[in-house]
Structure 1
Amino acid sequence: MESIRAAIEEHWRASESGEIEAEHAIYAEDAILDYPQSGERFRGRTTIAAQRGGHPADRHFTVLRIVGSGDLWVSECIITYDGVPTHSISIMEFAGESVVHETQYFAAPFPAPESRAALAEPS
């Protein structure tokens, strides 16, 4: 379990530093990456790396937390594209030491409604 957590941490570290090969070492050769909000599926480590490597934005990754056990792990991150933060959830399914399926969800921040102001505290 510690080796999987370490692999995930290395994945996000390499993502932040732009090390494409190290970023994608976590994926099985035939891994699948799904983006449900855009309806896209990317099949294979090479294809996953190519679509990320061609991203035109200046990207930065801040990991808020990593939780999981066994074959299922979740990373909560803030990914900043050209200075604009986007919250992201990455659900990684492992077979052995490699990701075989990842699903990523993205959400833009939004202002809190006034009606909850008395109940909420800043996070």
Structure 2
Amino acid sequence: MIDTAALAERFLTTLEARNWEAWQALLADDVVYELPQTRERIRGRAAYLIFNQTYPGDWHLTPKVIIGDGRRAVIWFGWLVRRPEGDETADAQVFLEFDDTGVITKVTDFWPEPYEPPARPEGLIERW
């Protein structure tokens, strides 16, 4: 059985470290990333990378609880975004789905409240 909890922890720690090569290695080429509060969807590893590399502010992620069951994992994490106008912090959850080889095929982030997302490069995000 695949240790999805360990893979989920690696997902978050490589993302926090901005270790883009190791982080991307965890993702399927056609990974789907969704943010229900902002109604955003990103398709593909390359687009998901750009999304994270261009997110405004100096952001940080701290895992609190990680649970995995062989096909899925969930991470409860604290986040901090440092910006000139002031820091912002709260908790959030990310749900991960894996294929049979342990590669992440879907990522769904749940943030504390609905919000309007920041501007993104043209064509990167679908809205629903």
User: TM-score by structure 2 length?
Assistant: 0.77
Deviation at 1:34, TM superposition (A): 0.4
Name stretches of at least 5 consecutive residues in structure 2 with no aligned partner. 114-128
The letter for the 1-side match of 2:38 is S
35-44 vs 9-18, which deviates more? 9-18
More helix per residue: 1
Which residue does the alignment assign to 1:41? 41
CA contact (8 A) 2:59 2:80 kept: yes
- Structure 1 segments, 4+ long, off by >3 Å, are none
Number of equivalenced pairs? 108
Aligned partner of residue 111 in structure 2, secondary structure: strand
**Which amino acid in 2 is paired with 1:100?**
T
Percent pairwise identity = 25
Structure 1: runs of 5+ lacking an equivalent: 109-123
Q: Deviations over 1:52-91 (max 9, x none)?
A: 1111210111100101202111000011111321211101
In structure 1, what residue type is equivalent to 2:73? W
- In structure 1, C-alpha distance between the alignment counterparts of 2:24 and 2:111, rounded to whole Å: 20
Cα deviations by residue, 1:37-63 (Å, 9 ceiling, x for unpaired):
101000011110111111121011110
Q: CA RMSD for the aligned pairs? A: 1.5
Q: AA paired with 1:50?
A: I
Distance 1:63 1:18, change over 3 A: same
In the alignment, which residue of structure 2 is the partner of 1:98? 103
